[in-house]
Homo-oligomer: A and B are copies of this chain.
Amino acid sequence: MQIEPLPRQRRKEARPAEIIEAALLLFHQKGYSATKLDDIARFAGVTKGTVYLYFSSKEALFKAAILETIQPNLDRIEEAVMSSQASATQRLKTAMSSWASSMNECKGSITKLMIAEAGNFPELSDFYIETVVKRSRKLLIHLIQAGIDSGEFRPIDADMLARTIFSPILLTSIWRHTYAKLDPITYSLNQLSDFHLDIIFNGIALSEQS
């Protein structure tokens, strides 16, 4: 059985996005080094030569894939949350809900990729940490501090709490992208986030324990 090559097509506009999508999928599945450019090209329905028409190197393709995916999500959440006039509690819930939703699509994949390849792309890691991670954390810390100031929350280390609040959905997102078959997670990131926030606000103890 012979694979019949599809008829050649010229689609200059669609190629880069298709190649990036293929690259993201394979990088995520196998890691950067283990992913062959031939595979990416085949997956995108082109040949390796075409990839090099649009991206100067494998590394450039990797960086483009990361940036193109993150960029669109960056501003949306921040604006949605900062414009609200509700209580800190409510705004925290809204923010986490937005994050949980966006993680479902692509961000989890990116997070995993960045962790796996951080050692090989230090400059890209730097960009990611500064532009995505610290910016997100700053937003969370702001909301937590607002809650403390308004008397909604007891005084507490806001940086520590921000990291704590984020951890479950971030790790679960990575987890689901990694061990979907071996360790399936039945509930959604939104459910998990709601569950965690409810506990954070109210605790689980029936009587006082300290």
Chain A positions near chain B (C-beta within 8 angstroms): 28-34, 89, 112, 115-120, 125-126, 129-130, 133-134, 151-154, 156-157, 160-161, 163-164, 167-168, 170-172, 174-175, 178-179, 182-183, 185, 187, 191-192, 195-196, 198-210
Contact = CB atoms under 8 A, between A and B. Distances in A.
A147 to B, nearest CB: 8
A177 to B, nearest CB: 9
A171 B169 CA distance: 10
Contacts of A152: 205-207, 209
29 contacts: A28-B119, A31-B116, A31-B117, A33-B33, A34-B120, A115-B115, A115-B116, A115-B174, A118-B178, A125-B179, A125-B182, A129-B182, A133-B179, A151-B206, A152-B205, A152-B206, A153-B206, A154-B206, A163-B168, A163-B192, A164-B168, A164-B192, A164-B199, A167-B167, A170-B171, A199-B203, A201-B203, A202-B203, A202-B209
| Closest 7 pairs between A and B when the two form their complex, measured CB to CB | A203-B203, A33-B33, A116-B116, A167-B168, A167-B167, A202-B203, A171-B171
Given A199-B203, A203-B201, A160 B187 contact: yes
Number of copies: 2
